[in-house]
């Protein structure tokens, strides 16, 4: 796949609102390795008060939280999905986000852009953020609250 620039995205005011409205955030691709960015972001989100739900293909617990193998397995409402996966996985993740029916925001981390997947999610009425670090943006936007 060629490099893409995000054609579909949210502005800072919208991102701030997404954080204010979210209570539960599923982190797809969170690593159990505490040297990885996904682990740092998930820990940050948990420490600032969100119910952080790790989604990872193995492990039973990450950061003290029960690990789910997929979005579909999560048995509580999910407000936001933060994605740490390769861009070629994003179309299937977009379908899973839409299928849940309760996700309000689909957020892909830095360098994760897939405009077709993002458009599909947006067309389903879900907020889209691409190519932004959830931790960096939360620190920046919520310190202005």
Q: Give the pLDDT score at 121.
A: 97
Question: How many CB atoms within 10 Å of residue 101?
Answer: 10
Domains of the chain: 12-142 (3.40.50.720)
Q: Give the pLDDT score at 109.
A: 95
- Sequence-ordered list of residues with C-beta below 8 angstroms from that of 125, at least 6 positions apart, any chain: none
Q: Give the pLDDT score at 1.
A: 44
Q: pLDDT tens digits for the chain (145 residues)?
A: 456 778 888 899 999 999 999 999 999 999 999 999 999 999 999 999 999 999 999 999 999 999 999 999 999 999 999 999 999 999 999 999 999 999 999 999 999 999 999 999 999 999 999 999 999 999 999 986 5
Q: Give me the half-sphere count of Cα atoms (radius 13 Å) on the Cβ side of residue 67.
A: 17
CA-based Rg of the chain, rounded to a whole angstrom?
14
Q: Among 34, 26, 37, 54, which residue's Cα sits nearest to residue 132?
A: 37
What ranges in the chain are assigned the alpha helix state H? 12-21, 37-47, 90-100, 115-123, 134-142
> What does the block give as tokens for 108?
């892909």
Report how far Cα 132 is from the mean position of its chain's Cα atoms: 10
Sign, CA dihedral 99-113-35-22, equals negative
Question: How many CB atoms within 10 Å of residue 47?
Answer: 10
Task: Specify whether the CB–CB gap between 112 and 133 falls below 8 A.
Answer: no
pTM score, two decimals? 0.94
> What does the block give as tokens for 30?
């969170």
Question: Could you give the 3-state DSSP secondary structure of residue 23?
Answer: coil
């Amino acid at each position: 796949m060629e490099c893409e620039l995000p054609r579909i995205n949210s502005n800072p005011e919208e991102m701030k609102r997404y954080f204010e409205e979210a209570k539960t955030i599923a982190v797809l691709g969170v690593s159990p390795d505490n040297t990885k960015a996904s682990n740092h972001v998930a820990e940050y989100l948990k420490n600032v008060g969100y119910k952080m739900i790790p989604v990872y293909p193995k492990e039973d617990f990450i950061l003290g939280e029960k690990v789910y193998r997929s979005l579909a397995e999560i048995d509580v409402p999910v407000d936001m999905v933060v994605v740490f996966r390769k861009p070629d996985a994003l179309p299937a993740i977009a379908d899973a986000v839409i299928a849940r029916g309760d996700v309000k925001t689909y957020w892909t981390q830095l360098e994760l852009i897939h405009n077709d997947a993002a458009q599909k999610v947006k067309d389903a009425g879900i907020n889209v953020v691409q190519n932004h670090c959830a931790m960096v943006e939360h620190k920046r936007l919520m310190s202005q609250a």
